[in-house]
């Protein structure tokens, strides 16, 4: 059994990680910790975890290192980079779920997050953990930067086009909508129920850091697309649905495009291209590690509309992190994810 | 035009007060203030208030006193009692929406809120502002303690029985359910959207201070009922629905009970006894100053079930406060409340 | 007092109309009817309408014509065109809230709705009731086709650009999100709570009839823009938020664009251009007849992003219908709309 | 592998059954059917069931009998009793999730559901499938009547008292609140999103058939309690929270009561008595087969308040049905339920 730690177990992603890891057949969860000093058991924090008898400590790096071989960092941005180096130095395998190691370049990190990177050595070593793009690199790596939730929903919608070298003839629009867990579990007037329920809004228009992450991966793929990304906040707990508008020029038939997507994802366990005429819905991916994709095409405008849906806490965070662990450790890729 | 201040305008109750007062035909809103120093206009805080050009100050008692004749205090419990005396001393009419002046007795206040009362003189003078019970006293008063939201929903369900001297044969159960605005607009992990949405829970079971308020009013009415009050938190913005279980002994027929209620409320503008067989729903009172009551009766157990619904921010707070102002000032009672 | 009928009073729009008309100071609601024969009073259908003592009939054209001078048709598409002619023939003023008379051309109607138009004479006479575009024509007309909810949210975002003759350099993307009342009050598995709550989806992608309505109005304005419209379904009751992506070529500064919008809407009572840096939210327009607009601009891409928010049942339906009535009848434009 | 059919797979309970059975390690799902003739695969109906390649037929009893040894009936009340006999006659094991076989007496069935029972022979043979009460009888039976969702939440709260022969001194109040999936997946104006969201109401007050089911089980336990049951509809998808008010006479200390409950459920895998001072919340049981119980006690009134929470689709329906199958077949009781 692989001995696993979750550093930052009390947020939504940490909770989802713990819930899935305790029933993962190859894993023994040996250490979890939360933001503050707690004497509570993890079961008291999350009463649905009946029978899990693990204490939830204040973070003690030494204890974490001693008790585990594999570490999930589920920490706020700019905090992970203070913590990751000691685990890596101790030879642990690490999946970092924060944004800290997703760019291989500290300037892009600074442009996106407005902060100086403090661990540029490891920044260059981390592999971007999108299995559908980098599975072999992930398999060979011991340090994974788990993708952001929005970039996961966007990139999975674009990989088949990138693979064929197709690029948009004009600006690609990415209109993304996320449930509220995407903002984390925190005290905030902005996130209180009464002002969020029965509400909907765009936020950080033209200034969300995930736009940098998307652009960075596109460039890595030599696809320096012109695009605009605008996120919105949905009054629901879980799920991201992104609508992408990709102007094409060679008018591929809808059938041909459908085939390109179907064929690209034919053997992927966690991406489903819906049959022609069907569209993704958040309820169909909620609680799953699936990404659902639906295509529509208007020939008169050469306009391809792609709708992409994931659960932000699963394929967009904890589920993809476990998928990465499974790949890194040679486990069956779907363990803990059904 | 009556010059009116709202002290504490940025919470949910304050916002509802301001929204209704700006279109009240007999009122000129002359001063509003919020918790912190703000240079914003009230319209910037609440963008739906198009055309209202009032600045939202940090609280300045002198300015508030100079600019208004009538004052609404929409402040947290234990804060109102530090602020009310100066307005009263200056001869202003005051409706206090906090819990500070609802008991006429500092011991009961302390039992309910765990705090020492700091203004016992005015505590004795304040009139409990439930118009259906104390309309004439309210008319003659210049200082009103606006009832709590739960007590309003409970007491309006019981007044017709009190009026007839009927009391329960056994313990009366009051199972109350409130929307989230009842908890105020504040940063709190407990009130964040994701842990409140798709959730429901009881809270402060057998220890909610409103149980003291209900008991206090019952005793004022010489109805020292044996009762239990349990509040619950609904995943919706506005509304309280309370289900009351009143064991009776003389088996009044359902028809007779219906008549007692109908007749008691026949001329009340803001309480509606629904026709036999109809039950209140929160959506039917949302945004209104109405209380809807529905009765069911099981003869074999002499059990009367009363369902009572109000909007916690209107009849349970801001609406009732304006109703009290209308009564105090001799305005038509429904102004600003349709 | 203007004697007014509401034909189709039991849906969401009809309910909103009735609720606002009963407190409109220049109106006496004299006749309302619902889909089926009902003996109920309107107050029994909508218990929040305390004191309104109007019966809700099955539709009786003769009675409706006798009892009123002004008629709102709040009927399903393709039903209005069977009903409107008799009111028009009888000399009544009519605001039709269905889609039946929004195009002046039966071919476009057929392309959009797949049905043959049955009243082509009146089709040509109806004025499209968007006051910010056609106020003077509305004032002179006795037959108004009230705009669709999505087109209202889209067109109000574009009028300032149309007015300046600015048109997009490329395809304009209109990504629209609506609350569930937009689908009407009806029994439908698709609209049941449990499959709609905690869900979000695109629907009728590239095939929504409102895309025809938008295109039709743009062409009337000699602005045959290339655009794509995709609607989505939000898990909330009321509100539409549309995000528009307008590629421009002459790089107008954000400040200049802001001024164009501010100046165009300077004297409009129901459209607000938010200050620079502020973005519309559905909660700020809910229950109001307001449209809120927020602008963002990225100079490097000459990309203008406009966010537009309305309440679909108010500015998107019943509120705008009453605004049209006020204009047609020479009433103050905001009566019944505050 | 046990060959299993789900008769009625397209409702919420059927969907939950299928989702859990396809990953149950001892089960092969061999036959599922829906209300209407369908050529669809189950995966097309429920797109989250990636990789499940089973067709969803119109009901064909012969085919169902041939292809399976164990049958779940997830059918409307009064339909099950037309279908169950043929499976029982063919020697299949059956768990019926409808209400048809929960009483052992056709008169009580008729009193509760207003319908004549059509299969009184099997009515007497069926075992009421509440494992915490009848585990040994379930193990020995081939025909289980799966308990109702409300009765499950109520009875699990009372079993420890029944076990000790404690009964209420006065009327026990059961105030129950359920999410909307409890009403099934159907087209209904009452269940449409817009009138259910932001709403809360009591329904079938003093006339819900589950009150008969609760009374029937209590009588079987020689506990002919005097009680009142009132259900309410919560604006959320899943979960029931019931607040029970049990007047006691011998003032047991809270500690003693807590011990009675803790000890009664010490070895039960799916019932958790929360630590003193903690209260159940629906979010903590959502998606689980758990029942959470929390106790409060007021000595001055000898009043015990029990709060009980379950997921109505899991412990209240599909989960408990699978738990029963596990017991009947000698599988580990928690298989398919984590």
What is the sign, positive or negative, of the torsion defined by CA atoms of A202, A205, A208, A212? positive
Residues in CB range of A265: below 8 A, 6 or more apart: A132, A160, A271, A272, A273, A293
Q: What does the pLDDT look like over A101-133, one tens digit per residue?
A: 999 899 999 999 999 999 999 999 999 999 999
Of B100, B310, B78, residue with least CA distance to B213: B100
Query: Which of C157, C172, C200, C282 is most worth mutating to test chain A (most A CB atoms within 10 A of its CB)?
Result: C200
Is the CB of residue B293 less than 8 Å from the CB of residue B273?
Answer: yes
The CA distances from residue C74 to B105, C33, C96, C244, in Å, are: 56, 10, 7, 29
Helix/strand/coil for A314: helix
Q: How far is A292 from chain D (nearest CA, A)?
A: 9
At B195, which helix (H) or strand (E)? helix B193-196
Q: What is the predicted pLDDT for the residue at C43?
A: 83
Is the CB of residue A244 less than 8 Å from the CB of residue A172?
Answer: yes
Q: What is the predicted pLDDT for the residue at D160?
A: 97
Q: What is the predicted pLDDT for the residue at D135?
A: 98
Q: What is the predicted pLDDT for the residue at B36?
A: 65
C223 contact A CB<8A: no
Percent of chain A with pLDDT over 90: 87
Q: Flag whether the ipTM exceeds 0.90.
A: yes
pLDDT at D36 over 70: no
Q: How far is D112 from chain B (nearest CA, A)?
A: 16
Q: What is the predicted pLDDT for the residue at B37?
A: 56
* Cβ-based burial of D105 (10 A; exposed 0-12, middle 13-18, buried ≥19): middle
Between CA A197 and CA A204, with CA A198 as vertex, the angle to 5 degrees is 75
* Mean pLDDT of successive 10-residue stretches along chain C, which has 338 residues: 96 96 96 77 84 87 96 97 98 98 95 96 97 98 98 98 93 98 89 96 97 97 95 98 92 87 97 95 97 96 97 98 98 95
Contact B193 A198 (CB under 8 A): no
Contact C301 A226 (CB under 8 A): yes
Of D305, D161, D182, D203, residue with least CA distance to D247: D305
pLDDT at A36 over 70: no
Contact B206 D171 (CB under 8 A): no
A278 contact D CB<8A: yes
Pairing of strands D93-96, D127-128: unpaired
Residue linked to tokens 């059956």:
D94
Q: What does the pLDDT look like over B149-158, one tens digit per residue?
A: 999 999 999 9
Contact C281 A175 (CB under 8 A): no
Residues in CB range of A28: below 8 A, 6 or more apart: A1, A2, A3, A4
Concatenating the DSSP letter of every residue in B274-323 gives PPTT---BHHHHTTSS-EEEEEEEEGGGTEEEEEEEE-TTIIIIIHHHHH
Q: What is the predicted pLDDT for the residue at B39?
A: 61
Contact A278 D47 (CB under 8 A): yes
Contact A188 B192 (CB under 8 A): yes
C284 contact B CB<8A: yes
Contacts 24+ apart (CB under 8 A), B26-30: B26/B1, B26/B2, B26/B329, B26/B331, B26/B335, B27/B1, B27/B2, B27/B70, B27/B336, B28/B1, B28/B2, B28/B3, B28/B4, B29/B4, B29/B5, B29/B54, B30/B3, B30/B4, B30/B5, B30/B54, B30/B67, B30/B68
Instruction: Determine whether D149 is an active site residue.
Output: yes
Joined together, the tokens standing for residue B115 give 């705090």
C206 contact D CB<8A: no
Percent of chain B with pLDDT over 90: 87
Minimal-distance CA residue of chain D relative to A19: D338
C-alpha A147/C-alpha A127 separation (Å) is 10
Q: What does the pLDDT look like over B124-174, one tens digit per residue?
A: 999 999 999 999 999 999 999 999 999 999 999 999 999 999 989 999 999
* D38 band by pLDDT with thresholds 50, 70 and 90: low
Residues of D in contact with B254 (CB under 8 A): none
The CA distances from residue A271 to A294, A318, C23, C141, in Å, are: 11, 16, 54, 55
How many CA atoms within 13 Å lie on the side-chain side of C128? 22
A226 contact C CB<8A: yes
Is the CB of residue A64 less than 8 Å from the CB of residue A33?
Answer: yes
Of C150, C136, C141, residue with least CA distance to C99: C150
Q: Which residues of C are catalytic?
A: 149
Residue linked to tokens 């024509």:
C137
Q: Which residues of A are catalytic?
A: 149
Is the CB of residue D3 less than 8 Å from the CB of residue D69?
Answer: yes
B195 contact D CB<8A: yes
């Amino acid at each position: 059994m692989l001995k696993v730690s979750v550093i930052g177990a009390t947020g939504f992603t940490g909770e989802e990680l713990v819930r899935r890891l305790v029933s993962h057949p190859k894993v023994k969860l040996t250490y979890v910790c939360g933001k503050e000093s707690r004497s509570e058991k993890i079961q008291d924090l999350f009463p649905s975890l009946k029978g899990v008898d693990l204490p939830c400590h204040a973070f003690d790096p030494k204890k974490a290192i001693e008790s585990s071989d594999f570490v999930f960092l589920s920490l706020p941005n700019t905090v992970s980079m203070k913590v990751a180096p000691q685990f890596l130095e101790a030879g642990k395998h690490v999946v970092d779920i924060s944004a800290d190691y997703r760019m291989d370049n500290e300037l892009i990190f600074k442009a996106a997050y407005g902060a100086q990177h403090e661990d540029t050595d490891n920044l260059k070593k981390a592999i971007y953990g999108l299995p559908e793009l980098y599975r072999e690199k992930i398999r060979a790596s011991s340090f994974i930067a788990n993708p952001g939730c929005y970039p996961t929903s966007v990139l999975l919608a674009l990989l088949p086009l990138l693979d064929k070298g197709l690029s948009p003839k004009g600006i690609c629009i990415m209109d993304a909508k996320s449930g509220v867990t995407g903002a984390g579990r925190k005290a905030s007037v902005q996130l209180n129920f009464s002002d969020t329920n029965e509400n909907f809004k765009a936020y950080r228009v033209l200034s969300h850091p995930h736009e940098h992450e998307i652009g960075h991966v596109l460039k890595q793929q030599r696809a320096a697309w012109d695009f605009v990304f605008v996120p919105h906040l949905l009054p629901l707990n879980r799920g991201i649905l992104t609508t992408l508008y990709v102007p094409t020029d060679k008018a591929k038939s809808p059938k041909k495009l459908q085939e390109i997507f179907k064929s690209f994802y034919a053997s992927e366990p966690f991406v489903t291209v819906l049959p022609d005429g069907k569209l993704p819905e958040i309820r169909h991916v909620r609680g799953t590690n699936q990404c659902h994709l639906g295509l529509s095409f208007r020939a008169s405008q050469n306009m391809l509309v792609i709708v992409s849906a994931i659960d932000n806490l699963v394929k967009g965070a904890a589920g993809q992190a476990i998928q990465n662990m499974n790949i890194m450790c040679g486990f069956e890729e779907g363990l803990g994810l059904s």
